[in-house]
Amino acid sequence: MTDADADAVRRIERAIGATGLVVAGVAEGQWVKPTPCTEWDARAVLNHTVGGMRIFAAELNGTDPGAEHESDWLGTDPKGAYADAAEVDRAAWNRPGALDTTVHISLGALPGPTAALIHFTEVCVHGVDLAVATGQQAVLDEELCAELLSVMRGMGGFDAFRVPGVFGPEVQPAPGAAPHGQLLAYLGRTAA
């Protein structure tokens, strides 16, 4: 595994862990809270995230995920569903040659490194969405949020990804915003 590949997997693992801390802290009545991802409440954000984790893992392992992305992946145990998906997801990304795999998702056929960046983005950003929705900003990995923001800004041409329902036009972050707030603002979301 190259250093770049190891960094990509490390980022995904950190995002899975950081989001896991948030998921563990969601109180039972908070699953209906609105999120910065305005079309979804907290449960829908987590369901989408778990679905993505299962689909990416299946693609990396050459298996069938067993359901569509927006199927109900959480059932009656959202926290357990996340923990199970996290284990499968970590193992898939750590499989030898995982980043040599072409991953087929709704965006098309993606080379492994591109798929890894998209997956890192999804898990990290939706973890922030959940944290903001449930008042858990204090447990966020701000260093990881800053790292993702730096990667996005360094990509050049990020505007191609600013489509309705995914990422909106950049908004002004609140004065003195923490890295997670800056990240959400860059993606057209607000942390309020």
Residue written as token pair 């492994």: 112
pLDDT of 169 above 90: no
What span, in angstroms and rounded, lies between the C-alpha atoms of 139 and 144?
12
pLDDT beyond 70 at 130: yes
End-to-end Cα spacing for the chain: 40
- What are the C-alpha distances in Å from 179 to residues 20, 81, 137? 19, 28, 11
Q: Model confidence over 82-125: pLDDT tens digits?
A: 999 999 999 999 999 999 999 998 878 999 999 999 999 999 99
| pLDDT for 1 beyond 70 | no
Average pLDDT over residues 8-37: 96
Residue labelled with tokens 């908070």: 30
pLDDT > 90? residue 163: no
Does the pLDDT at position 165 exceed 80? no
Give the whole-angstrom CA distance, residue 107 versus residue 132.
27
Please state, in angstroms and rounded to a whole number, the distance separating the CA atoms of residues 23 and 95.
25
Q: Do 90 and 96 form a contact (C-beta atoms < 8 A)?
A: no
Band of pLDDT at residue 19, cut at 50, 70 and 90:
very high
- Could you give the CA distance from residue 180 to residue 55 in angstroms, rounded to a whole number? 26
